[in-house]
Structures are given as structure tokens and as C-alpha cells.
Amino acid sequence: MNKLLLVVMDGVGKSKTGLGDAVTLANTPTLDKLLAECPHTYVKAHGTAVGLPSDEDMGNSEVGHNALGCGQVYSQGAKLVEEAIESGDIYKSAAWQELKNTCVENGSAMHFIGLLSDGNVHSNIGHLLSLIREAKAEGIKRVRVHILLDGRDVPATSALTYVDMLEEALSQLNDCGFDAKIASGGGRMKITMDRYFANWDMVKSGFYTHVYGAGRGFATAREAIETYRCENEGIIDQDLPAFVIKEGGRPVGAMKDGDCVILFNFRGDRAIELSMAFDNADFDGFDRGEMPAVKYAGMLQYDGDLHLPRRFLVEPPQIKYTLSERLVELGVKSYAVSETQKYGHVTYFWNGNRSEKFDDKLEVWEEVPSDKVSFDQRPWMKSAEVTDKVIEAIESGEYGFIRCNYPNGDMVGHTGSLPATIIGVEAVDLALARLLPVVKRNNYILAVTADHGNADEMLEKNKKGELAVRTAHSLNVVPFVVYNADCEIADGEFGLSNVAATVANLMGFEADGHWDASITK
């Protein structure tokens, strides 16, 4: 058996445009050396290659790590929801029927919470509009929408485009028997959408905004956004403070006993904490106050092992035959490490959306706590500490397979700061420089790839042809490089789902028959 280390450089792709290409602008002698001297290719990490509806859809870390870890392409996120809407199955689900009947019978409100954009990474405004139209068609009288502003998977200051789209749709639906309004909102990195339990205060702020209507009041969402932009020069959508829509000094969408709530995001990582706050009777993340008795459902079940939430509208993909399962069958001990921001990606998403290990003795997971600061302030993040852990794991001699994720290219890239992102990419390159001699000395094979692009395209041209900051993922291919192995790249085009078979091939094992073909021969 050959031992192998897989490094995921999160958010590091190959730019097509050269606009804001922090990967090329960075000083990366180690990555340059690997690409110049080692077998390598570039693989697709977006669109149909990772189970999304079309090649216009950006990849993301969740579907990317699903594909890396399971070796196959599954319908994911947006595609799952679209299929359920098209078939009508979403409205036949037990969760929709229960919540709809509750609202109709009690004359209570249906609340929708979620990211308001068409980024197709966490949500899609089209799904929300379908839910609202169906709510009216099935006799629900009142709808309240709690909008989270994106500026991360879509242009950085595009919020009003989606607010206007939603307001126009609501105005067409509203009549004497149906009342739908935007009730509250705020930037996705300011309220509600925390992940991996990094900042419960962020979730609490969103919870009190959405549930109680607690916060600064405005007449409309447009007024709130425009006011905050005037008060905070240069602020982008993801960082806008919370706001509440009020009429006559009272919030229009404070929740009451008998109301129902649907989180229309389909991606799990930033949905779990809010779902726990609504769903768990023994919740202790923060004081929920005198929480009204509401029924809650998610677009998907965000964690199958935790059964969270209990109610959900669309069945998630049933991922089987993962690389971890195969290695456990073979008796190979593995080690996974990242810092908090991507820890769930090398564990939960890698193992096919499972919180539990396949074998507690053969799988070791380690988390390095992330700093609770904006990542443009510390763009090196925890790359040094993660590298320390990887080196320790290699030198222990315990593990046949090691995987790690360096979040810098993605998390710093999302801030929109090109200078900081260049430093973030350089920090990852320094980590690779530390790993190479250790890999060589301990006779490991090193495979280096990424889960999607981001740092490679941080500027874009707006409708006026002017350069604007880009904080979203890119549609670019990502590298796949093999170091310290005698191998060749096979013919063909590859995606992230080809990596599992490649790992098995390089380690000297037969790939699972369900996996896509190996990149190497």
C-alpha cells in the first residue's frame, strides 16, 4: 500500500480572464514548481460536473467535497429542489402538507427565511417565488419573507436587484385575500447564516430579528439598504446590518403562536444552527426568549445523522460508496484536518453528508479553531497550525490516507480584498513548501487540488464595462497535481468526482465500481 496525502486548496482555480487573479499575482514558488515538474491536469469543479443544474452554476465547497469524497456525481442542491418543484413532489411532502394545513386551519402566517439571490449556492429566488405562489394557491392568507442579502455568490452590491424582483412578484400576488410582505433582513455574514458553531451571536441576532421583529425599523427593504449604504461607505451586501420592516411603529412580521416557518436555503452548512434554534427542545446555543410556538421546516434535511430539521420539503441525495467507506473496508486508517471554517467539509461533506464516522478507530478527525475576525485582517488564517497537524500525522506513521483543507483562497477571497487574498494564497503555498520535504522523507504521495475557484477571479466587468469587486466563486477549472509518484495523466476530461478513484489507484487499491474513472494511469 502507498500512503497518500490529499491537499485541498479551497477556492484556488485557474483564471480565464486574468481579472483580479490573486493566484497568479501571488508569489507561489512551490505551486509553480509542482505544476512545472509533476504530472498534472485541470479538472471541472462546477456545474454538471458536481451535480448542479447547468455549467452556468458555480461550484461550492459542499458539493465539491461531496464529489471528492464519493467519487460520483449526484443531483445536488438547486438541481434537487428544481426537480422536486417541476414534479410537484415538494408540495406533496409531509412537511409542506403539515405546515400548509396548519396555516390554512388557523389563519396563521407562513414565514420564509433565506438568502435572496439566484447564486444557486445556498438558495435561488426562483424557489422562493414558487413557494409563495403555491402558498397562495393552497389557501394561505398571510406570507412574511425574511431576506438575507448575498453579495457573495452574486455581485457584491446587487441586493436591490433581488429586492425589486421580490417586491414586484408580491405586488402581483397581493389582493384582498392574500397579504405577502418582506418582514426583516440583513447581510448573510452579519446575521443568521453562521456555520460550524463559529459565532452563535450572529445566529441570535438573526433569530431575534426574524422571530421578534427586534431591531432598527424601516418602511421598506429598499430604504433599509440605501440607508445603510449611505451610513457605511463601501459596505457590501453580505455585511449590511439587520433591519426590520415596520408599519405604525410595529414589525409587520413578528412571529406568533401557530405560525409556520420554512428556511428555503438548500445548502446545509449555514442552515444547521438556525435549524437547531427552531427545532431543538433542549437548545442551549443562546437564550431564545419567550419563543412562540411555531412549526419549522427546512428546504432539505441539512444533517441526516442528527435528523435536523425534523421536517423538510425535499429529500437529500442518498450518497453511498464513499472513499471513506472503501478505505474502512480495506482497513486503512485515515486522518482529516482543517480549521473550523472548512472542518465540516473534510468530514461531514466528504463522508457523504454524514456527521458520524464509518469507523471510530480507523477515522480520526481534528479541528483547528478559526479566528473570529474578518479574514482579510488575517489572511494567513490557520494555515500554519493545520500544516503542523498534517506533519505530525505524517510523521506518526499511523495513517495510510491523510486529507486537509486550506480555506484561505475561498474565505479571504469572499471578503473582496485582492491584496489580502494574495497573501492568503501565498500562505497556502508556504504550507505546501513545508509539506514537500516531509512527504518525500516519509515516502508519501502528495495530491494537490481544489474544490472550486474563487481567488482566481476577484474582479469582473459590470454592465457599464467598469471593473467591480467580485466576491463569488468562479466557473474556472482547478488544478490536480501528483508529487512523489511514478504515474501519468490519463486521456480525457475530468471533474472532482474522478479524484476518489485516483486516490485509490495511487495507493495501489482497486477503485469502487461505482466511481468515476481515475485521472492517473
Cα separation, 446 vs 322, whole angstroms: 20
CA nearest neighbour of 268 among 344, 323, 202? 344
Q: Domains in the chain and their CATH numbers?
A: 3-75+318-507 (3.40.720.10), 78-314 (3.40.1450.10)
Tell me: the pLDDT tens digits for 373-419? 999 999 999 999 999 999 999 999 999 999 999 999 999 999 999 99
| Mean confidence (pLDDT) of the chain | 95
C-beta separation of 217 from 245 below 8 A? yes
pLDDT level of residue 56 (50, 70, 90 thresholds): confident
**Would you give the distance in Å from CA 231 to the centre of its chain?**
30
* pLDDT, tens digit, 9 for 90 and up, residues 433-453: 999 999 999 999 999 999 999
Interstrand relation of 179-187 and 142-149 (parallel, antiparallel or unpaired): parallel
CA 70 to chain centre: 17
Going by the DSSP 8-state scheme, the letter that residue 281 receives in this structure is: T
The counts of H helices and E strands in the chain are 17, 18
Give, for 168, the enclosing helix (H) or strand (E): helix 159-173
Segment 147-174, tens digit of pLDDT: 999 999 899 999 999 999 999 999 999 9
d(CA 405, CA 6): 9
Statement: residue 131 has pLDDT above 60? yes
Query: What is the pLDDT, as a whole number, of residue 517?
Result: 97
Average pLDDT over residues 357-372: 97
Compute the distance between CA of residue 83 and CA of residue 78 in angstroms, rounded to an integer: 9
Distance CA 129, CA 136 (A): 11
Distances (CA, A) of 408 to 23, 108, 447, 477: 11, 45, 18, 18
Query: How far does the chain reach from its first CA to its final CA, in angstroms?
Result: 16
Model pLDDT, residue 213: 98
Identify the pLDDT of residue 300. Answer: 93
Catalytic residue ranges: 61
Beta strands in 317-388 (DSSP E): 334-339, 363-368
Q: What is the mean pLDDT of residues 64-74?
A: 95
* The pLDDT of residue 484 is above 60: yes
Between 117 and 52, name the one with better pLDDT: 117
Confidence of residue 302 (pLDDT cuts 50, 70, 90): confident
pLDDT band at 269 (very low <50, low <70, confident <90, very high): confident
On the question of pLDDT at 48 being above 80, the answer is yes
- Lowest mean per-residue pLDDT among 56-65, 238-247, 360-369, 414-423: 56-65
Determine the pLDDT at residue 498: 98
Q: What phi and psi, each to the nearest 5 degrees, are found at residue 200?
A: -65, -30
Map 315-330 to HEC letters: CCCCCCCCHHHHHHHC
C-alpha–C-alpha distance, residues 23 and 425, integer Å: 6
> pLDDT > 70: what percent of the chain?
99
Q: What is the pLDDT of residues 303-330, one digit of tens each?
A: 765 789 999 999 877 789 999 999 999 9
Q: How far apart are CA 520 and CA 389, in angstroms?
A: 28
Please report which confidence band the pLDDT of residue 475 belongs to, taking 50, 70 and 90 as the band edges: very high
- Predicted TM-score (pTM) of the model is 0.75
